């Protein structure tokens, strides 16, 4: 079995032994889970703070204003973590005190693609991190009778084939929509390994389906849970 590398936004990297038993347990659970999905599925490091955000979003008694507020916070965290999947290079700069500093430089040539409608909720989060990033859109609708997803509208930056693509879609329950969207991207000559999927909530079923369909694509989600909060788009945009 492939050794799974779990990037955890926790204390592990620090070599400071402060992990509570619970943290170790969730870490183990994650490792187990990820064995089934391969190395390209990454989970946002879970801490109490992220858990609280997820809880609020799932709570049916959360008001819409709270829902949007906390959704935006979770989105921001997921986007920040997604950006970590983008390429970078090392560099040395000089600080105002005159000392050298070994830093990292982001590579250029990225873009975002949101899947209409709920994916658009994540656009602002991306904009807050990358002010002038280009953002394309895809509208995928599922057929009322066959439940088959079909692309209704797609608009991308012209040179998307040479860019890294951050695909944004918050909720995956079957994975059909995402699979369709990635197919469209591939039709535009975007290679699978250049796509990073940013996702908030996914079912294990959808995750498996997507990993199976596109093993080279990087997937980042904050939670794998059998029940997906399907009310996300409705509640976020207030159309429930």
Of 102-110, 112-120, 145-153, 208-216, which segment contacts another protein by CB under 8 A?
Answer: 102-110
Concatenating the DSSP letter of every residue in 66-97 gives HHHHHHHHHHHHHHHHHHTTS-EEEEEEE-TT
Distances (CA, A) of 18 to 12, 66, 76, 201, 207: 9, 32, 26, 28, 31
To the nearest 10°, the Cα dihedral for 109, 135, 117, 177?
A: -30
Whose Cβ is closer to another protein: residue 144's or residue 227's? 227
Options 6, 12, 151, 184; binder of another protein; rule CB under 8 A: 12
Q: Closest separation between CB of residue 235 and another protein, Å? A: 8
**What are 128's two structure tokens?**
């807050």
Residue choice 2, 18, 145, 189 for contact with another protein (CB under 8 A): 18
Q: Under the criterion CB under 8 A, does residue 184 sit at the interface with another protein? A: no
Q: Which of 3, 21, 96, 146 binds another protein (CB under 8 A)?
A: 96
- Location of structure tokens 């973590």: 81
Binding part of the chain for another protein, among 27-35, 78-86, 114-122, 186-194 by CB under 8 A, reads: 78-86
Q: How many residues does the chain have?
A: 240
Q: Which residues 106-125 are close enough to bind another protein by CB under 8 A? A: 106
CB 167 within 8 A of CB 185: yes
Cβ proximity to another protein: between 111 and 181 the closer is 111
The DSSP secondary-structure symbol of 123 reads H
Q: How far is residue 62 CA from its own chain's centroid?
A: 23
20, 28, 29, 69: which one contacts another protein (CB under 8 A)? 69
Does residue 58 interact with another protein by CB under 8 A?
yes
Map tokens 């990820």 to a residue.
34
Which residues are at the interface with another protein (CB under 8 A)? 7-14, 16, 18, 45, 47-52, 54-56, 58-61, 66, 69, 73, 76-77, 80-81, 83-84, 86, 88, 91, 93-97, 99-101, 103-106, 128-129, 131, 225, 227-231
């Amino acid at each position: 079995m492939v050794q799974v590398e779990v990037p955890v936004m926790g204390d592990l990297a620090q070599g400071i032994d402060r992990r509570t038993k619970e943290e170790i347990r969730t870490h183990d659970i994650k490792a187990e889970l990820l064995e089934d999905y391969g190395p390209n599925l990454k989970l946002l490091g879970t801490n109490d703070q992220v858990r609280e955000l997820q809880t609020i979003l799932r709570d049916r008694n959360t008001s819409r204003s709270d829902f949007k507020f906390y959704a935006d916070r979770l989105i921001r965290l997921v986007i920040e973590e997604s950006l970590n999947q983008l390429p970078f290079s090392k560099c040395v700069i000089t600080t105002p005190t005159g000392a050298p500093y070994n830093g990292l430089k982001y590579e250029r040539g990225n873009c975002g693609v949101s899947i209409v409608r709920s994916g658009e909720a994540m656009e602002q989060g991306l904009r807050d991190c990358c002010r002038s990033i280009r953002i394309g859109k895809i509208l995928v609708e599922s057929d009322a009778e066959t439940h088959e997803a079909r692309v209704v509208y797609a608009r991308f930056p012209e040179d998307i084939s040479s860019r890294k693509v951050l695909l944004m879609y918050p909720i995956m329950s079957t994975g059909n929509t995402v699979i369709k969207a990635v197919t469209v991207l591939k039709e535009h000559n975007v290679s699978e390994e250049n796509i990073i999927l940013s996702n908030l909530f996914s079912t294990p079923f959808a995750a498996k389906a997507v990993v199976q369909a596109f093993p080279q694509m990087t997937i980042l989600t904050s939670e794998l849970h059998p029940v997906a909060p399907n009310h996300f788009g409705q509640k976020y945009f207030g159309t429930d």
